Amino acid sequence: MRTPDVSSDVARVVSVNGRLQPAADARVSIFDRGLLYGDGIFETFRIYDGRPFRFNDHWRRLQRSTRSIGLRLPHTAAWFHRQIDTLLDANLLTDALVRLTITRGAGPAGLEPPTTVAPTIILFARPFAGYPKILYQRGLTVIIASIRRPPPSATPPYAKSLSYLGGILAKREAVQRGANDALLLSVEGHVCEGTTSNLFFVRAGTLYTPSVQTGLLQGITRQVVLELARRLKIPVRQGLFLPKTLLAANELFLTNTSYEVMPVVKVDGRRIGTGKPGPVTRRLHQAFQRAR
């Protein structure tokens, strides 16, 4: 039986363990540890004009991620770059999102990580030329999720692991409450990040973002925005912030590989600033688009 076409937005050709094949024919073992235990990591690359944005930063995060769970990467950066290029060529894509998944592979039963098993490496692409402009003009609405982000002592903070259940439940809650997305707090109650994004807010001309201490994933886009803010001489503070600080902010935005810099205009139904995307958010997004 062929895999049902549940992801019609995925480009036709995918790559499994270095082999290109039609998405509908791609297979992994039902004993794959990625499936059984979420034992693996992933990266999402943004492709602009045929080139992966900040490939080296993604590669470094991938190395840190895999190292933090003791998974040995079986190939070099050049190999992964070639895989992405080949996948894009096969699908005739120049603007896309490429998802790379690496699991610990199919192994014997039990949690003990096998050492002799080859990882499973999956790449697929989605055509993507950015979200509609209207979203950036209007901004998103978010809630503060009731579920919290696990602390760095509970899950390795560097691991961009396959286990996204927390984020999924937070997103589900957002949808049920009629919002676009959710923010998660740390177990101590500090603002941490979005379900798949980092967050920034602006108050009196200063840019604030939660510190890595909160257990957030260190986004590549977060890093780029911090670099741009320095270049634009916007003062930046990283720290521990309570949710009430957000409500007193003039502007709020989320960053990730697909959002770039996405304004947020409401938190838990309460307006942020004027209730419209603000000038610092716009300036940083424009700078981001020039830099990519």
Which positions lie near ligand PLP, rule CB under 6 A?
44, 193, 196-198, 217, 219-222, 255-257
Nearest approach in angstroms of CB 42 to ligand PLP is 9
- Let me know if 235 is exposed, middle or buried by CB neighbors in 10 A (0-12, 13-18, 19+): exposed
Residue positions annotated with a catalytic role? 160
Question: Is the Cβ of residue 214 or residue 257 nearer to ligand PLP in the bound state?
Answer: 257
Alpha helices in the chain (DSSP H): 33-37, 55-68, 77-90, 133-138, 165-176, 220-231, 243-247, 279-291
Judged by beta carbon, residue 15 or residue 161, the one nearer ligand PLP is 161
Min CB(260)–ligand PLP separation in Å: 9
Spatial separation of the C-alpha atoms in residues 257 and 44, rounded to whole Å: 7
State which residue has the least CB distance to ligand PLP: 219
CB of 255 to ligand PLP, least distance (A): 6
Least distance in angstroms from the C-beta of 168 to ligand PLP: 11
Q: What are phi and psi of 237, to 5 degrees?
A: -130, 130
> Are the C-beta atoms of 258 and 97 separated by less than 8 Å?
yes
Q: How far apart are CA 89 and CA 196, in angstroms?
A: 28
Q: Compare residues 181 and 193 and give the one whose CB is closer to ligand PLP.
A: 193
Pick the closer one to ligand PLP by CB: 104 or 149.
149
